Amino acid sequence: MANVCKNVNGSSYLKPEFWKAQNKEDQATLDELVTRARDTSIPDAEAVRGLADLIVAQAEADGIEFECAYFARHFKDEPGAADITDPSTGKKYPHLHFVLHMAPAESDDDPHAKGCSFVEWERYIGINRNLIKKLKKGGVVEQNKDNAISYLTHIKYPEKTQYGPEIVYTARGHDYTGVYSQRYSDWMAGRAVISQKAATSKERKALTFDRINHGQLPYRELISTDEGRLLYSRYSKDINVLYATVAEAERQKKMESYTDNPFVRTNIYFTGDAGHGKTWTAGQLARRIVEYIRAATGEEWSIFDPADGPNLLDDYAGQEIVIFDDLKTSDMSWEKVKRFLDPYRTVSSFGARYKNGEFCSRVNIIANTKNVYEYFYANKHRDYDEHIDQGLRRIDFCAETYSLDAESASDNLDTPPTNDSLRISLKYVKRLPANDP
């Protein structure tokens, strides 16, 4: 059976809204038990007794037998970024931890011989299934059980708030204080191992963050390694914020340098039928430009390929080369087209969904099925009294791509074009006087 397990653990805040009874008639009773369990004036084990006994009774009513059932209330933990905080103490809101291990089935005919489904565990415990965890797979099962039981007091985790064994209520199985006393030396040995691993993990995290901060670890390189993916899975929010901050800092540096050292922007327009290599050729040209700049000046230029639609520049972070692939006339207002293609306007501000940005590309490459005249003429944002020459004179080069295989059954290229299958017609478009039709 899929999603069936015999041993679970987990936790939930002791707020009535996080708990759901099996039927509406029992909800009031459950709410009272949850409220009592969070009352810190009552000793921990005594406070959770009623709620714990109800959970165990509901499972046993379905024929479940427990090898052990332990419950512990924590209300002194330091809150994390995603935790609910108790406003009266500043600590993490009181919450209940539980460990439920089923006893071995007496026969294979037992309907719960292989365990219970998450739907059943959700019904017995009274909390959302996302808060209920299976016993970790791998290693020795008994060791994994032992780890779950030890976590009730955090004995193996010195960086967490430490609790004594007296806070744990034993609903079924060996008394927790006896288990704690018996396992104490082994748990303390495990504490030393975990501390060492945590220190090593912190060092790796610090080193990774330092490399990102100094621009030495691109995102693609980070997620290309097992260790990088593991770190990203744990700290994705912090890593994303750091990458965004580094990109913003780099963009600001470019803004300052462009103010003191203005440049002349280059605009290149690729046209051709669908499937005849416009996008491929534009990408190849962009990469060649990056290679040339690297060899000639030592600078490391980057390429930005925007998304479709009116918010196409929301993620722009100062990249030197921008490829507007299949740019539609509805994607950009006429005023934006003129500003972004202006060869002498080094920096242009633009609005975005979350905050305004600044456009500072050195090279713009546009790929479109319309030829350059049709594209500017068809811009729906352009007033009829504004001549298309305002767009035309900003274009430095027009390049037309087309397949040489005129007898092909299909007009589209099934494979990336090559020099043998593709001809590029390159012509220079002069900057025309403003009054030239």
* Residue 180 resides in a domain: no
Task: Give mean pLDDT, residues 193-211.
Answer: 72
pLDDT score of 407 more than 60: no
What is the tens place of the pLDDT at every residue in 8-34?
Answer: 999 999 999 999 998 888 999 999 999
Task: Give mean pLDDT, residues 372-384.
Answer: 66
**How many structural domains comprise the chain?**
3
* Residues 425, 400 contacting (CB under 8 angstroms): yes
90 with 15, same domain: the answer is yes
Alpha carbons 245 and 248: distance in angstroms, whole number: 5
Q: What is the CATH number of the domain that holds 366?
A: 3.40.50
- The residue segments making up the domain with residue 40 are 4-173
Q: By C-alpha distance, which of 394, 254, 268, 391 is closest to 323?
A: 268
* Residue 296 resides in a domain: yes
* Residues 12, 129 contacting (CB under 8 angstroms): no
162 with 224, same domain: the answer is no
128 with 277, same domain: the answer is no
pLDDT score of 230 more than 90: no
What is the tens place of the pLDDT at every residue in 340-364?
Answer: 888 877 777 665 555 567 778 889 8
Alpha carbons 338 and 327: distance in angstroms, whole number: 14
89 with 145, same domain: the answer is yes
Q: At what angle do helices 176-213 and 226-260 cross, to 10 degrees?
A: 30
144 with 198, same domain: the answer is no
306 with 353, same domain: the answer is yes
What is the tens place of the pLDDT at every residue in 148-181?
Answer: 999 999 998 888 999 999 999 999 999 999 999 9
Alpha carbons 108 and 123: distance in angstroms, whole number: 24
* Residues 363, 320 contacting (CB under 8 angstroms): yes
* Residues 331, 309 contacting (CB under 8 angstroms): yes
Q: Which of 222, 249, 276 is the last residue of a domain?
A: 249
Identify the DSSP state of 85: B
* Strand pairing category for 397-403 and 266-271: parallel
* Residue 183 resides in a domain: no
Q: By C-alpha distance, which of 24, 5, 12 is closest to 127?
A: 12
Alpha helices, H only, 70-117: none
Highest mean pLDDT among 67-76, 212-221, 413-422: 67-76
* Residues 204, 231 contacting (CB under 8 angstroms): yes
pTM of the model: 0.49
233 with 90, same domain: the answer is no
* Residue 357 resides in a domain: yes
Rg for the chain (alpha carbons), in Å? 32
239 with 359, same domain: the answer is no
Alpha carbons 30 and 126: distance in angstroms, whole number: 9
For 22, other C-beta atoms within 10 Å of its C-beta total 13
Alpha helices, H only, 261-315: 278-297
Alpha carbons 141 and 138: distance in angstroms, whole number: 7
Question: In this predicted structure, what is the pLDDT of residue 195?
Answer: 62
For 175, other C-beta atoms within 10 Å of its C-beta total 12
Q: Which of 227, 249, 271 is the last residue of a domain?
A: 249
What stretches of 75-207 adopt beta strand conformation (E)?
95-102, 116-117, 132-134, 168-172
Which residues face 170 on adjacent strands? 70
* Residue 434 resides in a domain: no
Please enumerate in sequence order all residues whose Cβ is within 8 A of that of 209, keeping only pairs 6 or more positions apart, or say none.
238, 239, 242
Higher-confidence residue of 348 and 282: namely 282
* Residue 257 resides in a domain: no
For 54, other C-beta atoms within 10 Å of its C-beta total 20
Which residues face 132 on adjacent strands? 10
Give SS3 for 359: strand
* Residue 50 resides in a domain: yes
84 with 195, same domain: the answer is no
Per-residue pLDDT band at 220 (split at 50, 70, 90): confident
Alpha carbons 408 and 404: distance in angstroms, whole number: 9
* Residues 255, 347 contacting (CB under 8 angstroms): yes
* Residue 256 resides in a domain: no
Q: Which of 224, 249, 274 is the last residue of a domain?
A: 249
233 with 341, same domain: the answer is no
Overall size of the chain counted in residues: 437
pLDDT score of 411 more than 50: no
pLDDT score of 324 more than 50: yes
∠ CA 324-328-330 to the nearest 5 degrees? 125
pLDDT score of 53 more than 90: yes
95 with 194, same domain: the answer is no
147 with 207, same domain: the answer is no
Q: Looking at this protein, which amino acid is placed at residue 2?
A: A
